[in-house]
């Protein structure tokens, strides 16, 4: 059985997941807290997720520790700042053989809502799925402070607030991968993925970047797509 698993805050990784799901003719399975607590089995698992503060998002890391798949394809999307070493880190956690992996540059969650990506460099992955064998991944550099409370730093850098147009529909509660929001009110576990902001039907949730984060995000973009086979 083939499964396409995806965690996506602002829809960038989801666009790639939909592309793989279409090509492989299977549905996309969303990774959230509930899924990360269950045992997931597949012959081939294609897992697509964003880079958060040069790390694997916590919910995806938990999912990896429960995933039991013979073959695994890993796709990490990143916002053209730095992808760190997440594919190597995922490779070390996963049970099963990683047959292909890729870093794909996309718009940054906090800057760009476009979900366009270049599918061309990903084509060799489909050939590898047909004829699976172990991929060779290389270790990439990562900022020494990247693992220093990444979720806490995201909360400091991004403020989310609710306006009076909220009608308490609770869609944000249903969609939140961390079970961190109730009727528009956020509590502790929020990872600032912005899924609630993007999906609120009343546009009642808003976000603002801290000036230090804003300046940090102005650096020259790194546009590299890297595919490991
Ligand atoms: C909390 C958070 C941390 C992020 N950290 C990084 C980062 O370290 N490097 C980077 O290039 N992009 C970073 N990004 C941008 C995302 O990796 C990128 O926009 C990704 O494609 C978002 O995918 P999604 O819409 O599926 O969540 C970050 C985004 C968020 C929300
Ligand atoms: S999705 Fe929007 S309108 Fe619905 S409860 Fe959440 S914040 Fe309110
Ligand atoms: S409450 Fe936080 S973790 Fe949940 S969807 Fe919103 S930004 Fe993401």
ipTM for this prediction? 0.97
Tens digits of residue pLDDT in 38-55:
778 889 999 999 999 999
- Same domain? For 114 and 23 the reply is yes
Which is higher by pLDDT, 126 or 145? 126
- Decide: residue 131, CB within 10 A, 0-12 exposed, 13-18 middle, 19+ buried: exposed
Which pairing describes strands 226-228 and 181-182: parallel, antiparallel, or unpaired?
A: unpaired
Domain range for residue 170? Answer: 150-216
Q: From the CA of 192, how far away is ligand 1's center (Å)?
A: 10
Q: How far is CA 24 from CA 122, 170, 196, in A?
A: 14, 33, 29
- Same domain? For 6 and 94 the reply is yes
CA 101 – CA 122 distance, rounded (Å): 9
- Same domain? For 50 and 13 the reply is yes
CA 68 – CA 78 distance, rounded (Å): 25
Q: What is the DSSP string of 44-111?
A: EEEEEEE-BTTB--HHHHHHHHHEEEEEEEEEEEE-SS--TTHHHHHHHH-EEEEEEEEEEE---TTT
- Same domain? For 43 and 134 the reply is yes
- Same domain? For 66 and 136 the reply is yes
- Same domain? For 131 and 156 the reply is no
pLDDT, mean of residues 148-153: 79
CA 14 – CA 201 distance, rounded (Å): 19
Q: How confident is the model at residue 3 (pLDDT cuts 50, 70, 90)?
A: very high
**Ligand 3 atom with the shortest distance to the CA of 197:** 6
Tens digits of residue pLDDT in 189-216:
899 999 999 999 999 999 999 999 999 9
Work out the angle between the directed axes of helices 86-93 and 58-66 (0-180°, nearest 10): 30
Contact 97, 70 (CB under 8 A): yes
Percentage of the chain with pLDDT > 90? Answer: 78
- Report the domain count for the chain: 2
Count of residues in the chain? 229
- Same domain? For 126 and 162 the reply is no
**Ligand 2 atom with the shortest distance to the CA of 169:** 4
- Same domain? For 132 and 54 the reply is yes
Q: What is the pLDDT of residue 144?
A: 80
Q: From the CA of 178, how far away is ligand 1's center (Å)?
A: 16
List ligand 2's pocket residues with C-beta within 6 A. Answer: 162, 166-172, 183-184, 200, 202, 204-205
């Amino acid at each position: 059985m083939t499964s396409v698993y995806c965690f996506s805050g602002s829809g960038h990784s989801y666009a790639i997941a939909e592309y793989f799901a279409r090509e492989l003719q299977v549905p996309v399975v969303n990774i959230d807290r509930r899924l990360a607590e269950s045992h997931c089995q597949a012959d081939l698992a294609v897992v697509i997720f964003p880079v958060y503060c040069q790390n694997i998002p916590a919910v995806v890391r938990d999912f990896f520790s429960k995933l039991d798949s013979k073959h695994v394809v890993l796709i990490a999307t990143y916002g053209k700042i730095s992808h760190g070493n997440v594919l190597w880190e995922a490779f070390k956690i996963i049970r099963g053989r990683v047959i292909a992996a890729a870093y794909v540059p996309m718009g940054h969650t906090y800057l760009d809502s476009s979900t366009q990506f270049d599918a061309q460099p990903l084509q060799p992955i489909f050939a590898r799925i047909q004829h699976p064998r172990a991929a060779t991944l290389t270790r990439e550099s990562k900022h020494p402070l990247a693992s220093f409370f990444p979720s806490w730093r995201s909360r400091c850098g991004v403020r989310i607030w609710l306006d009076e147009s909220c009608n308490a529909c609770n869609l944000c509660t249903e969609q939140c991968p961390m079970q961190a929001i109730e009727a528009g009110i956020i509590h502790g576990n929020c990872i600032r993925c912005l899924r609630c902001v993007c999906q609120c039907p009343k546009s009642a949730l808003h976000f603002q970047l801290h000036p230090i984060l804003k300046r940090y995000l102005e650096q020259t973009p790194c546009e590299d797509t890297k595919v490991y086979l």
